Amino acid sequence: MVELDLPLLRLRRAPAIAAAAAITTAAVVAGCALSAPPDGQQIVVDALPAGTTIPATWQASASDATVTDNWLATFNDPVLDALVAEAIVNNRDLAQAAEAVRIAQQAVLVVGAQLLPQVGANAGARLTHDQDHAGTAASDIVYAGVAWEADVWGRLRAQRAATEAQATATALDYQYARQSLGATVAKAWYLACETHQLLVLAEQAAQVYGEQLKLVTIRQAAGKTTELDIAATSARLDMARAEEQRATAAYGEARRALEVLLGRYPAAEIEAALVLPALPPPVAAGAPAALLGRRPDLVAAEQQVLAAFRKQEAARLALLPDLGVSLVGGRLGDNVLSLLRLNPWLVSAAVGMSIPIYEGGALRAQVQIATAEQAQAVAAYGAALLTAFEEVENALANESLVAMRLPFEEAALASSTEAVRLAKIQYEAGSRDLLWVSSLQADQIATRAAVIKTSNEQRANRIRLHLALGGSFDAMPAVGETQG
């Protein structure tokens, strides 16, 4: 590294200061423009493997209507609306994401400050008393300085552009975290409702088998049934009670998980609903290509590619000389000058150039690292794209498959319920035994549980589809400016 600068100059030598100013002005005017970044289309081409293209429509659905925001309102569930609003305010993970945005925004200011002149001042005084000679000497120092690195080649501007892109990506990550939190709370709420319904079903099953045991005990005392019926009914009652305990535990865990999302203490105090509003009609899916500009996480990954591009550019420009300008002026003095009554006002103007000659390969290694990080960011963007497309295709496919499965299970439940009714009549008439009735009741309970689970699966899949499509749960766009 070679550094060149001008020597210390007295105030009367103003032409040197003027020369420094002229050099500075020329450096600003002659500053090189930054390279043009790749556009979105080129990034997509680079990110996906050769031969991989984005189709015009989704393979699992032919719908191409525009995706709309505010999907939470379509569920017509005021309790859910309130829970999501509470989570947005109090969730600790989202609070961390918000602070990460503030940190990234301030980092832009820190890096951008390198493009501006650095101004500083210093002042001090010293009093020295000579006991042997009964003399006192005073000295002081007061000066101010201005230093500025002329960004001739654009290295500092490239660093600032990289930091700006990273800040944008961080803000977009916050937006996606916000959308994900809304979806997660919705799924957690409906899971709590599902476990509540299953708990009630388990309690009903235990009550049914308890009543059966009472009945069979009475009939056994009257000599109308056998010990086998009592043993079999007792076994079903014990299993029903065990299932009731499992359902109680699951309901408690679901409520605690929801309470943590809301920022509450996990006390399992929140009460889930037993009856839910009807599921809203199917949603529009838009075109696959529209996903690239609608999902915050994908736009954030694209910004990371741009940030890596600028970092690589800054690493290359670091191989070129740096030009700096400084101006220092003030009153400089010490004890000797004070005794001589010489504490002059001085001004120093300097122009310096730093030229990298030999750094042991460190600078070129930094270029190679930045180039690899750029390729890494492109590959990460491609992986994010494919994952996003997979999420949408899976949700769209499940949307129709679950919708077709649920009516079969509901029909099976209706048939099971009727079979139990008829079996009870035949049992009371003495044409059927209790074991046959109990078996049909067990099937009915299992079928009702399947209907409850499938109904919740349908809601959860709908929520996953909204999130995968990049729709917002409220009026705020999924991709937008983050408010600090």
- What are the backbone angles phi and psi of residue 150, rounded to the nearest 5°? -75, 115
Q: What's the pLDDT score for residue 16?
A: 45
Q: Which two tokens stand for residue 165?
A: 């892109």
Buried-state track 188-227, b at ≥16 Cβ within 10 A, e below 16: bbbbbbbbbbbbebbbebbebbeebbebbeeeeeeeebee
User: Where along the chain do the CATH 2.20.200 domains lie?
Assistant: 1-30+118-150+321-355
pLDDT higher than 90, residue 12: no
Q: What's the pLDDT score for residue 13?
A: 43
User: Where along the chain do the CATH 1.20.1600.10 domains lie?
Assistant: 31-90+151-320+365-469
| pLDDT tens sequence across 126-185 | 666 666 655 666 666 777 778 887 878 888 899 999 999 999 999 999 999 999 999 999
CATH architecture of 31-90+151-320+365-469: Up-down Bundle (1.20)
pLDDT higher than 50, residue 119: yes
Q: What's the pLDDT score for residue 125?
A: 67
Q: What's the pLDDT score for residue 301?
A: 96
Integer Cα distance of 422 and 377 in angstroms: 66
pLDDT higher than 50, residue 469: yes
| pLDDT tens sequence across 237-264 | 999 999 999 999 999 999 999 999 999 9
Fold of 1-30+118-150+321-355: Outer membrane efflux proteins (OEP) (2.20.200)
What is the secondary structure of 68-97 as a DSSP string?
A: -S-GGGGG--HHHHHHHHHHHHH-HHHHHH
Q: Which two tokens stand for residue 190?
A: 């409906």
